[in-house]
Every structure is written in C-alpha cells, then in structure tokens.
Chains A and B, each alone.
Chain A
Amino acid sequence: MLEYITNYLNSNLTPGQAGNIFWAVVYILLIFAGVSAAVILMNWGERKALAHMQVRLGPMRVGPHGLLQPFADALKLLLKEDIAPSEADKMVFWVAPLIVVVTAFTTFIVVPFGQTHAVTDMNIGILFMLGVSSLGVLGIVTAGWASNSHFPLMGGLRSSAQMVSYEIAMGLAVISAVLMTSFSGVGPFGVGGEGTGSGTLSMIGIVQAQQAQHVWFVFKLFPLGLIAFGIFAIAMVAETNRAPFDLPEAESELVAGFHTEYSGFRWSLFFLAEYAAMVAVSSIAVTLWLGGWLRPFTYWLSGSGWDTAFSLFPGLTFLVLAGFTFFNTVRMPKHPALKIQTVGLGVFGAILGVVGLLLFVPGVRERIQDIYWFSIKVAVFMYLYIWYRGTFPRYRFDQLMKLGWKVLLPVGFGVLIATGLIGLSDQLLEWVKGVMHWA
C-alpha cells in the first residue's frame, strides 16, 4: 500500500496517467481547496483593489485591512434563510446552482498547474475544458427560467445568447493555438522542420510544445498569436459574465439578472462558480498562450544557474508580501481597540514569512515553482478582470452581439486561416513549384 503511494512520487506522470487513484484523489482535494482559497483571496483582492481605484478603502473592519471579510461573508451566507419563491420550479431551482458550480470545478481536472501537477492529462484536454465550461450556461439558463420571474428570465436569455456567441470566437482562437502545436520549428517564426511537431489537444502537450518551440504562443507568428490571444482574452470575459460584458447580471438593468431570486447558500454557489470559472478560463489562456507553468525566458536565460535563480522567486514573493504586511503592521494606528488587529496582521505576516522561507528549501523549491509561475500568470488575469470592472461601462445587448459576431468571429477566422496557411507554407511552396514545373 505504502509502495503504491510512494512509487508515484518518483514517476514523472500525472496521477491520472499513472493510474494512481490515491494521488488523483489527493490532487482533486488539493485543487478544490486551492480554487476555493483563490476565490476567497480574489473576493478580498477585488474589493480592495476596486476600492483603491475608486478612492475608497474597501473592507477595513473585519480583521486587519478586512482580511477576514470573505470568511464573515461566507458565514453570513451560510446562516441565511434558504428562500425559494413559491412560484418557482423547485426542482430546477435547486439543481441550477449545482450545475453551475460542478461544471466550473470539473474543468480543473485537466488544468496543468505543472508538468506533473494535474489530476490527469487527457489527449482531448482543451476540448474537454471548453465543453465542460460551456455546460455552465445550462445552469444559468435554468436558474433564470426556474425562478419564474421576469428579471431572471431576461438574464438567463441574455446569458445563453451571449455565451453561445462568444464560444465560437473563443473556439476559433483556441484552434489557432492548437494548430501552432503542430509546428516543429524553433522560435517565433519557426514553422517548418522535420515534422516533429506534436499537434496535440492535451493541455500538458500544448505547454510542452511551447517549451519545445522555445516561444510562448502569444509571440508565435507575431502578430497572429497575439491577435488570437486577444480574441480569447475578450471572449473569456464575456464567457464568465464579467464587466464590461456582465449583461446577464447587469445590476442597473436587471437588478441581479439570473440570480435575482437566489439568496444565501444557493447564491454563494453562483458566486463561487463565477469566480472559479474566471480562474478556469484564465488557466486556459495561460496554458495556451502564456506558456502555462514555464518560467519566463526558459530559452534565453537557460542553464542551471538561471534555473536556480528563477526557482527563488516563489520564496521571494512570499517574503516581499510578508515585508509589506509587517510594514502595514507598524503603520497600524496605536489604539487599544486595534491591538488585536495589529497582532493579527503581524501573525499573518509571520505566516507569510515562514511559508516564504519554506519555499527556499531545495526539495520544495523545485516542486513548487511550476505551480508558482502558473498561479502568477493566472493572478495577472484576475487583476485584469478587476481593472476592467473599474474602468468600463457595460455593453448593450445588441452591441455585444455585434462585437462577437461581426468583429471577433471574422478576425478569428482570419487568424485561423493565416495560421494554417503559414503552417502549410512548405507544402504550399512545393505545390506551387509543382504547378510551375507542370506549366
């Protein structure tokens, strides 16, 4: 039994590939906990960052700098009375949030947090991910419909149209990235070579292709990769119903859109699912275009010295965070009522510091750095989500559709075709030569 557990640690495979159920379960639990923690962190971070953009402070009362606010909110939501409208379709009303939350979390099965840090590696990974995350719209539509109320109904209708439209543009962008995996040349413009390109749909395979080509796909065939990435980056905001595409839950128009009638725990499931979905689509973007778990400059700054240098980043990040926390602990107003908060903030900083120091330990360092780079890249997207929300007004429904169908879709097709033609350039050249010869 022990062998069954320890043998896996020496292998270079994901638990799913190794067929190791124990580690698969551990990974699932870890990912569930990690994503939930990310949602909590995101909740706090969004409120703080948005507040500072809007010249306010955000949560400040529950815990030092409002650090415990998400927990207080979660507790409040769990304790609230569970209300279902009397005219609602109870069964569907009950199932809808479950569909949304289950699909949002299921996508994480194939997300590669590192070379071996994924529950499993499917050969149709990206397809699975897009498919499952698209199922989430089902929950939103049923939630809107089952509430038996006008605002949720309109929210549900909006979201179904919106998500279906943007999935197409999203799919086109994804295909062009997948096409790039089949190139075997090295560098931003290398496409030819001796047919060693992998041509894979597997999430891990896509990152490995970027590693093999020494380039993140966002820079591949510049500007094609960048445009495809841009299309995806826009479509993923629409896909997760976030500002400026938050029409299904447009507060000023539809009160709260599809979840108007939901409260308490059920509502918190929608909330959880929304943020989990944001992390999920950001993971796709990171995996497909930003090199997934790869550290920056794997090619230019290669060698064991650089490897070691870059592996210090996780610990340094935590130490910087700890230093920042200590700085704020010192800055706390000296007031007896704030004593507990000051101590709490100090302890929080100490925990961050200890974690930072632990991350310097050689064995840990190597295992953790993949996850670190992946998380950092996802975090950038999370920040962008907050930034969009603080900056943009909301699109109108017809304008949203216009953008999806008349701008993103044609551009997506163009990028796909151009990528394909360049990929086939050698054969095309041969063919042209053949034609010339024949003529």
Chain B
Amino acid sequence: MTDVTKSTTSFYEEDTGKTGTFLDANELILNMGPQHPSTHGVLRVILKLDGEKVLGTECIIGYLHRGVEKIAENRTYTMFNPYVDRMDYVAAVSNGLGYCEAVEKLLNIEAPPRANYIRVILTELNRIASHQLWLGTHALDIGAITPLFYTFRDREEILKIYEKFCGARLTTHAFRIGGCSYETYDGFEDNVKKFVKFVTPKIDEYEELLTTNRIWVERTKGVGILSGPDAIALGVTGPVLRAAGVKWDLRKAQPYACYKEFDFEIPIGENGDTYDRYLVRIAEMRQSLRIISQAVEKIPDGPIMAKVPKVIKPPVGEIYHSIEAPKGELGYFIVSDGSTQPYRVRVRPPSFVNLQALDKMVRGMLVADVVAVIGTLDIVLGEVDR
C-alpha cells in the first residue's frame, strides 16, 4: 500500500489524470484512530480528504498484535487450541472449529457424528451472534443507536447457551482435537429450539427498524460498492463477496463437519453495496437458524470424541484447512515436523483480507461512508492483527 502521507503525486492527480497543481491547502490528512469510536477496535486509518471527500486511505494495523502464530510454535497442538479463540473473539467457536479440524486432518482422524452435530449447532449459533454484533455496531456507526441494544439483548441468549455448555461465554474453547470435550448438558436441545423460536421474530424486528428506513437505505445503497471481479481479485470472502453476487460459501463448496446433511441456501446480493451486504447477513442469520433447527432434530447419539492419542504427534507434513467463519474464509496452514509442537502455523483471517478492500471501496466517497464501510466489512481487530 502506498503511504498517503508521503506520496509525491497527489491522489487527485492519480484519480483524475489531470496535471497541474491541486492546491495542497485543500487536502487534509485526517488520522482516524486508533482511538476512535467506530474503527471497531484499534484500527488506524489515515484519510486524505478534500473537504469531506475521501481521496485515499491507508490502514495502519498491528496495535493488537499478540504474535499468536509465533506462540503456536512453542505450544503443543492441544495447548494452542485456546489461543485461537482470542483472534476473532466475536466468533471464537468458529476459530476453534477451524483449528481442530485442521489438526484432525493432519492426524488423519475424524470427529464422530455426534460431535460434528454439536459443532455445527454451536458454530451456527456463533454465526448468528457474530452477525448480531455486527448489525448492532454497524447501525451504531450509521447513527441508529437502538438496534445495538436489541441485538445485544438477543445475543445474550446465545451466550447463555455457551455458558451452560462449557462455562465460558465469549472465548469458549468449546471443541477439542478429535471432537468435543463436553457432552451437551441436559436440556441443550430444548434450549436451542427455544432460542430459534425466540430469535426468529427478533430478526424481523431488526429489519423493521432498518430495511425500509429511508435514511438507512440512503446511507447504505450505492455506498462502498465492490464488484464481484474486484472482490475475487482482492481475495475478499464471506458475506462481502456474496453480496457482490458471487455464490461462494465453503459450507457448500468444500463441505466440512456435517454441512452436507443440511438443507440451506446461500443468500447472495446483486450490487455489492453496503445495503446488499446488510441484506445478505440478515438472510444468513435466517439460514443459520434453519441449519440449527435441522441439526437439533436429527442430532445422533454416540461418542463425542474420536480415538485421539494422549500425546498429539502428527506425522511430518503440512495441511491447509479452511472453514466458512461468519466473516469469511478462515484458513489454518499448519506445518508439522513430527514433534509435539507445530513447526509453523499460519492463519488466513477473513478480516485481514477483507480490510484490503477498504481503500477501493471508499475512494471518492465521504467521511461518513468510510465509517459505514469499515462497519460493513465486519472486521475484528483481534483477527486482523493476531
């Protein structure tokens, strides 16, 4: 990325192709973040502005860097499992699923069906929780303060299920390599069914507040457009890609866990603007509910752990396994040297890759749109910086 503060050619020249002087006095370098209400954590965006118009952006990341990938090299496979929860702390369950499945692939074992069902239920609940948090904060960025409280109220029910399941609410560490460490608690199925019943009308309630709201539509339609080819070129995944009309969901494209057994659709958008991304995520919540209710109905009995050796020592080799996290493709590349500790772990975080699209999406838009686009990309800085 170019350093906007030091570039010699102005964005005006780059964008318009006009030569001559664009008075420097008209350009304003605005430092948005790392302390800013709507950069979703500690993202720092340097904006080059002409009045309110954005001429260029540069993202400075790394304020939340904890060296998760390096830590992995000094931990055993089992010990590293809780660390991945801290990357995308909004969707900790998905992170754990991706890591566990990657190591299982490396070990060449498979989780038993019951464990897979529990995994699907919990990750789909997590997708809803993540999308709810996204919706609340995104709406807050655009100025609607009320949806935040509604979504947090409903997300609480999911966290309660987690708390009963494994004792933790946010960084759950719900899965183990080879299955789940806990059997479900008594009444788990009932709780999940009750939740599905509870949250279905609530999603309509969010939509009632926003979908046809004139200001909301004006603020999101045509804002931060990312076309399908552009999105693919940038490696963008998840709802951002699907809103651009590309039907790509790893749950269907490369089914993992037991997603093959469920009947669900992949919602896609048309224009790839902020409004479409909003609609896609709302529809995804509904699809997740569909998956959950199917999974709860047919959850099989049986063991919850595969036969996993006491000391996990995968054979020499490497593996790349990716899952569809709420924010996009979450991939783990693990290199094993045959010891108890991974030689190298590399995470492909969806937030980090999706953040690349920010500059493309906001050039020529207004400052208010930058905030809307950061919100719609649904980034979590813990995952961007790792």
Contact = CB atoms under 8 A, between A and B. Distances in A.
B38 A54 contact: no
B366 A150 contact: no
A392 B143 contact: yes
A398 B52 CA distance: 10
Given A244-B215, A392-B215, A397-B366, A150 B52 contact: no
Interface string A389-402: 11111111111000
B37 interface: yes
A154 B367 contact: yes
A437 interface: no
Contact of B52 (A50, A154, A243, A389): A154
B368 A253 contact: yes
Contacts of A50: 145
A55 interface: yes
Contacts of B71: none
Contacts of B216: 393
List 3 tightest A-B contacts by C-beta distance, closest first. A394-B143, A54-B149, A393-B144
Interface string A229-262: 0000000000000011011001111110000000
Given A393-B215, A395-B219, A399-B218, 6 more contacts: A55-B153, A253-B367, A391-B209, A393-B219, A396-B368, A397-B368
A392 B213 contact: yes
Contacts of A399: 215, 218-219
Residue with the greatest number of chain B CB neighbours at <10 A, chosen from A53, A54, A151: A54
A396 B143 CA distance: 10
Given A251-B37, A397-B366, A392 B52 contact: no
Interface stretch (B28-36, B256-264, B293-301): B28-36
Given A253-B367, A392-B213, A397 B146 contact: no
B198 to A, nearest CB: 14
Interface string B125-152: 0000000000000011111111011100
Please report whether the interface of chain A is mostly helix, strand, loop or mixed according to DSSP. helix
Nearest to A246: B143
Nearest to A394: B143
A385 B142 CA distance: 18
A334 interface: no
Given A250-B368, A252-B371, A392-B215, A244 B143 contact: yes
B369 interface: yes
A335 interface: no
A80 interface: no
Contact of B31 (A53, A150, A251, A395): A150
A252 B219 CA distance: 14
A54 B140 CA distance: 13
Contacts of A396: 218-219, 366, 368-369
Contact of A150 (B30, B144, B149, B371): B30
A252 B369 CA distance: 11
> For the side of the interface on B, what is the size category?
20 to 34
A243 B144 CA distance: 9
Contacts, number: 86
Interface of A: 50, 53-56, 150-151, 154, 157-158, 243-244, 246-247, 250-255, 389-399
Interface in B173-225: 209-210, 213, 215-216, 218-219
A389 B144 CA distance: 8
28 contacts: A54-B145, A54-B146, A54-B148, A55-B150, A56-B149, A154-B30, A243-B143, A244-B215, A247-B368, A250-B143, A252-B37, A252-B141, A254-B367, A255-B36, A255-B37, A389-B145, A391-B146, A391-B209, A392-B144, A392-B215, A393-B143, A393-B144, A393-B216, A394-B144, A394-B215, A395-B218, A396-B369, A399-B218
Contacts of A55: 149-150, 153
B5 to A, nearest CB: 14
Nearest to B372: A396
Contact of B219 (A53, A389, A394): A394
B58 to A, nearest CB: 16
A279 B126 CA distance: 46
A397 B52 contact: yes
Interface in B1-54: 28, 30-31, 36-38, 51-52
A55 B141 CA distance: 19
B27 to A, nearest CB: 12
Nearest to A256: B37
B382 to A, nearest CB: 20
A183 to B, nearest CB: 35
B52 A393 contact: no
A56 B148 CA distance: 11
Contacts of B139: 393
Given A54-B149, A150-B28, A150-B31, A252 B143 contact: yes
Contacts of A398: 366
A394 B146 contact: no
Nearest to B39: A252
Contacts of B149: 54-56
Nearest to B38: A252
Which of B52, B139, B153, B370 counts the most A-chain CB atoms under 10 A from its CB? B52
B332 to A, nearest CB: 34
B37 to A, nearest CB: 5
Nearest to A150: B30
Contact of A390 (B38, B145, B153, B370): B145
B80 to A, nearest CB: 36
Contacts of B140: 252
A37 to B, nearest CB: 26
Contacts of B30: 150-151, 154
Nearest to B220: A393
A393 B153 CA distance: 20
Contacts of B143: 243-244, 246, 250, 252, 392-395
A392 B146 CA distance: 9
Given A150-B31, A393-B219, A252 B52 contact: no
Given A54-B149, A55-B149, A394 B142 contact: yes
Name the residue among B31, B367, B370 with the largest chain A CB count within 10 angstroms.
Answer: B367
A61 B367 CA distance: 38
A56 B150 CA distance: 10
A144 to B, nearest CB: 13
Contacts of B219: 393-396, 399
A254 B368 CA distance: 9
Contacts of A157: 51
Nearest to A391: B146
Nearest to B51: A157
A396 B28 CA distance: 19
Nearest to A243: B143
Contacts of B141: 252
A395 B209 CA distance: 15
A141 to B, nearest CB: 15
A260 to B, nearest CB: 11
A252 B142 contact: yes
B218 A390 contact: no
A250 B213 CA distance: 19
A389 B148 CA distance: 13
A50 B144 CA distance: 12
Contacts of B38: 251-253
Contacts of B370: 253
Nearest to B52: A397
Nearest to B29: A150
Nearest to A157: B51
